[in-house]
Amino acid sequence: MTITQEYNEKHHLATKIYAVDILGGQCVMCGQNNIFALEFDHIKPTRQSRRPQLGRSLSRRSAENTAIRIVNGTEDLTNLQVLCGSCHLIKTYYEGNHGNITIRSLNKNPAQEVK
């Protein structure tokens, strides 16, 4: 790893930590607070496609840009929340199968809802 790459890694992590802290510091569904497990979620999806792409990982650049916009104050915080990777996947699945939902409408253990 070059010095520039190492600097970028540390800078991205510091930006993400600050942005996550602005949004509450933990997953709003389960309370997970490990920074490496946390992701930014748009409450109302911004993608045109309503079909979830399970197993898809967000591009690192997209996550970095979201964190930068949060810190700079140019992101709409009313449409953002912090979710851990697992809860984000569950929310995305439910949105694709049940329409736009809020995280508060999900059971703490969505697997119990499956018939």
pLDDT digits (tens, 9 = 90+) for 63-90: 788 899 999 999 999 999 999 999 999 9
Residue type, 14: A
pTM: 0.71
Number of domains the chain is built from: 1
d(CA 87, CA 112): 14
pLDDT in the model for residue 103:
54
Sequence-distant (≥ 6) Cβ neighbours of residue 52 within 8 angstroms = 92, 93, 95, 96
String of b and e for 81-104 (b: at least 16 CB within 10 Å)?
bbbbeebbbbbbebbeeeeeeebe
Q: Which domain holds residue 50?
A: 3-113
pLDDT in the model for residue 5:
81
Read off the tokens for 101: 């939902």
* 22-74: pLDDT as tens digits: 999 999 999 999 999 999 998 887 765 444 454 445 566 677 888 999 999 99
d(CA 29, CA 86): 10
In this structure, is the dihedral angle defined by the CA atoms of residues 62, 56, 110 and 100, taken in order, positive or negative? positive
